[in-house]
Chains A and B, each alone.
Chain A
């Protein structure tokens, strides 16, 4: 600490800071006994000083604080644990547990920090509702534009080629805007936790086959080999929203198609092992630069090499894909090398055991 205050005043300053922090703070010793609780902690929990024990906090927040503290108090496991979505009455919190060490790096205790995020959660919800309302409003002019352009198409065929080209650019622009609105609506639905969809027994094989057939002509015209390989004949139908499953497959395959050059190959594989359905989408495309890989599932993020090839894309696809897959209790990961290609691996648990 700098030399504005005398050394003897440091302890008093720290105590004053901790006591007056707007976040709740509690300190525990190595035996997990509470040795300090600040004003905010007492106010937020409304527990009496005599009744301020770890067991009471655990009951109040419905979180196993003992186990979380064990993780941070043992040096080898974790220096900090963050618990999100903690709810108490009508308020939302983050709880941070972190270790406190002495100069010799020995763990001497731990801290529990309680951060009220109710307001930021409310802002998130308002943002989502706004995005949803705006997207619905946008659909009206975009939709009527689409139909009117489609009716116009016949008349356009008698115009010079340059006029026809401009018309198609306008039409494609309109269709892209409509897809973007659909993506935005999906994102806001996901963020509001309203993306339950209509789960029903769904035939995954026919959906994948369907989409592969739809993309076959484009792949062929660009001399890209597109193949669907069924690794295991017995793929069970699973209880899932078919439109959402379709979104996932379409997103992964259309990305592969967008970012693979002429002469390349795309393979989508479907397997069933150990209670999971596994979908693999492999391409020999432009790949994802190593520096960007950690961001690839973020909203609106697009790598520079992707933008170079295909300027118009929302960057929302993989965010939506991951949200759906994780909602189904599955996992998604990928391997990619820039300039060589990318492979996505999706697993989805089969929660109902009905075979085809």
Chain B
């Protein structure tokens, strides 16, 4: 943990990702970087988590079982939470149509998981939480 992190409470990152191969990487790598991490695997679960405890950052996959990422964004918007919560969309979808749909919402960043390295992913999160 860095000196600055020791002085403040750990930042809490909530992740909505239904593929455990990714979930495990997020969990171990980000915990290693000094963050508190919780991984949920569905849209419904992540909304419940957000209501019980507001995260410092939400990393949202788009394709999930039951409610998908698009619906989660809609609900967060309807509940006026998007101005309050930092959101990064991390998906393997990259069609222009998908990007356009997501652009309507007030989110920080969008990346295609397969197209960036673990290191680059961590950089994006650090930048978001500055």
- Which residues does A use to contact B, with CB under 8 Å? 132, 136, 139-148, 150-151, 178, 181-182, 185, 189, 194, 196-198
A150 to B119, CA, bound (A): 9
Task: Please tell me which one of the listed residues A145, A151, A178, A194 contacts residue B115 in the complex, with CB atoms under 8 A apart.
Answer: A178
Cross-chain contact B113 with A151 (CB below 8 angstroms): no
Q: Assuming the A-B contacts A141-B21, A144-B25, A151-B29, are A197 and B118 also in contact, with contact meaning beta carbons closer than 8 angstroms in the complex?
A: no
Task: Please tell me which one of the listed residues A140, A144, A151, A185 contacts residue B28 in the complex, with CB atoms under 8 A apart.
Answer: A151
A150 to B117, CA, bound (A): 7
Q: Is the interface of A mostly helix, strand, loop or mixed?
A: helix
Q: Assuming the A-B contacts A144-B19, A148-B21, are A181 and B114 also in contact, with contact meaning beta carbons closer than 8 angstroms in the complex?
A: yes
Closest chain A CB from B55 CB (angstroms): 21
CB 8 Å contact bits of B115-130 with A (1 = contact, 0 = none): 1011101000000000
Residues of B in contact (CB 8 Å), total 20
Q: Which residue of A is nearest B96, CB measured?
A: A194
A198 to B113, CA, bound (A): 21
**Count, A-B residue pairs, CB within 8 A:** 55
* B93 contacts the other chain (CB 8 A): yes
Q: Is the interface of B mostly helix, strand, loop or mixed?
A: helix
- 6 nearest A-B pairs in the assembled complex, by CB-CB distance: A143-B114, A144-B21, A139-B92, A139-B114, A143-B113, A150-B118
A185 to B118, CA, bound (A): 22
Cross-chain contact B115 with A185 (CB below 8 angstroms): no
A136 to B95, CA, bound (A): 9
* B112 contacts the other chain (CB 8 A): yes
A182 to B112, CA, bound (A): 11
Cross-chain contact A185 with B94 (CB below 8 angstroms): yes
For A151, the chain B residues whose CB sits under 8 A away are: 25, 28-29, 118
Closest chain B CB from A20 CB (angstroms): 44
Task: Please tell me which one of the listed residues A132, A136, A148, A189 contacts residue B92 in the complex, with CB atoms under 8 A apart.
Answer: A136
A-B contact pairs, 28 of them (CB 8 A): A132-B95, A136-B92, A136-B94, A139-B113, A139-B114, A140-B92, A140-B113, A140-B114, A142-B114, A143-B92, A144-B22, A144-B25, A144-B113, A147-B22, A147-B118, A150-B119, A151-B28, A178-B114, A178-B115, A181-B114, A182-B115, A185-B94, A189-B95, A189-B96, A194-B95, A194-B96, A196-B96, A197-B96
Q: Which residue of A is nearest B21, CB measured?
A: A144
A182 to B94, CA, bound (A): 10
Q: Which residue of B is nearest A198, CB measured?
A: B96
CB 8 Å contact bits of B5-46 with A (1 = contact, 0 = none): 000000000000001011001001100000000000000000
For B112, the chain A residues whose CB sits under 8 A away are: 139
- Which residues does B use to contact A, with CB under 8 Å? 19, 21-22, 25, 28-29, 92-97, 112-115, 117-119, 121
For A196, the chain B residues whose CB sits under 8 A away are: 96
Closest chain B CB from A142 CB (angstroms): 5
For A147, the chain B residues whose CB sits under 8 A away are: 22, 25, 113, 117-118, 121
A344 to B73, CA, bound (A): 46
For B95, the chain A residues whose CB sits under 8 A away are: 132, 189, 194
Closest chain A CB from B87 CB (angstroms): 20
Closest chain B CB from A35 CB (angstroms): 50
A145 to B96, CA, bound (A): 25
Closest chain B CB from A326 CB (angstroms): 19
Closest chain B CB from A21 CB (angstroms): 41
Q: Assuming the A-B contacts A147-B118, A150-B117, A181-B114, are A136 and B21 also in contact, with contact meaning beta carbons closer than 8 angstroms in the complex?
A: no
A145 to B21, CA, bound (A): 8
Q: Which residue of B is nearest A149, CB measured?
A: B118
A148 to B113, CA, bound (A): 12
For A150, the chain B residues whose CB sits under 8 A away are: 117-119
